[in-house]
Amino acid sequence: MAPWAGSHRFSVAPMMDWTDRHCRTFHRLLSRRALLYSEMVTTAAIRFGDRERLLGFSAVEHPVALQLGGSEPAELAFAARVGEDWGYDEINLNCGCPSDRVQSGRFGACLMAEPDLVAEAVAAMKAAVRVPVTVKCRIGIDDQDPEQALPRLVSAVKAAGVDGLIVHARKAWLQGLSPKENRTVPPLDHALVHRLKEAHPDLTIAINGGIADLETAAAELVHMDGVMLGRAAYENPALLARVDREIFGEAVEDPDLFAVVEAMRDYAAGVVAAGFRIANVTRHMLGLFNGRPGARLWRRILTVEAAEPGAGPEIIDRAAAAVREAMAAAEARALARAAEGALDATAAE
């Protein structure tokens, strides 16, 4: 089944320096159904770079989409074809990243100003591949009126045959705000994206931006075909363990977090055996126990000990043991308080 036939309902955003193959393997252990995205890869990198390093992934990651950065239709078509040959389930064009480096290459959010070029790129990619071709965009840039800029872009790419859109419900300011500030400072306008979906009921549209939990995601799905979470999913990955049941409606038990840790320990052992640092893996796992007893110790062990020379998967064992111990201690304290409360109630009778 193509990703946009179902998995678009919930996806994890493409995030530079974050959603690499190790991160995606971790996230896949938490959710079988979420659609995962690569980091953005430029067309020049695909043409001239190390494709195994840039594009390689494990079969367990499916469904997984490749996000491309570029603006030249012929080069995007070439890169899309390479991505399809590598086995990606979807090709996504980045029209939302506001960084200076991206702007200097004439791609990312600045393409919001060139809807006809984006449409030409989509048409070229559609002609080159059989997998779905999608676009991720903002609602506008700089002084654009989103009420005009967003519908103009959507109409253009829809006519070009785009299979779906992911709309980050904020403007991007290409001058004056950093990429980090562009993720939080421009105000959200979810209502505009809802109206866009109403105007295009036949086009698959997902919403991104400001969705911090599954309750908010579920509320958005009343209006939209899909939701995309970025930082919330990365910083609190345990929420992904509820996605298959709460978002996709599957009658399944949520994955046990310690079973996920054990699987990642085995995965990390393979990464280390291949000559890579275990920190490449553990850095993505830091938020797994956020809000639970032992979370701080878990983060410290995986951060500090993973950086030591020769560190191996045993540090994951130590971190997990520390969390188990902290959880057991917290449970013992809770039981003791409950017992004291029961005694006080009896004495008061």
Among candidate residues 176, 194, 200, 195, the one with its CA nearest the CA of residue 186: 176
Which residue in 23, 95, 97, 137 is the catalytic one?
Answer: 97
Q: How many CA atoms lie within 13 A of 39 on its CB side?
A: 17
The DSSP line for 44-111 is: HHHHHS-HHHHH---GGG-SEEEEEE---HHHHHHHHHHHHHHT-SEEEEEE----HHHHHTT-GGGG
- 97 included as an active-site residue: yes
Residue 49 annotated in ligand binding: no
Among candidate residues 95, 143, 97, 103, the one with its CA nearest the CA of residue 119: 95
Residue 197 annotated in ligand binding: no
Residue 16 annotated in ligand binding: yes
Q: How far apart are CA 296 and CA 308, in angstroms?
A: 19
Six-digit token pair at 49? 């770079």
To the nearest 10°, report the CA torsion of 299, 301, 306, 311.
-150
Among candidate residues 180, 201, 184, 95, the one with its CA nearest the CA of residue 140: 95
Residue 290 annotated in ligand binding: no
- For residue 332, what is the enclosing H or E element? helix 314-348
Residue 22 annotated in ligand binding: no
Residue 230 annotated in ligand binding: yes
Q: What angle do CA 119, 122, 128 make, to 5 degrees?
A: 145
Residue 249 annotated in ligand binding: no
What's the Cα-to-Cα distance from 159 to each of 41, 155, 156, 164, 272, rounded to whole Å? 25, 6, 5, 12, 48
Q: What angle do CA 74, 137, 285 make, to 5 degrees?
A: 100
Give the phi and the psi of residue 94 in degrees, each rounded to 5. -80, 115
Among candidate residues 306, 16, 267, the one with its CA nearest the CA of residue 136: 16
Residues in the chain: 349
Residue 209 annotated in ligand binding: yes
The DSSP line for 281-298 is: HHTTSTTTTTTSTTHHHH
Q: How far apart are CA 248 and CA 6, in angstroms?
A: 9
Binding residues for FMN, as ranges, are 14-16, 67, 136, 168, 208-210, 230-231
Any idea which residues carry the catalytic annotation? Answer: 97
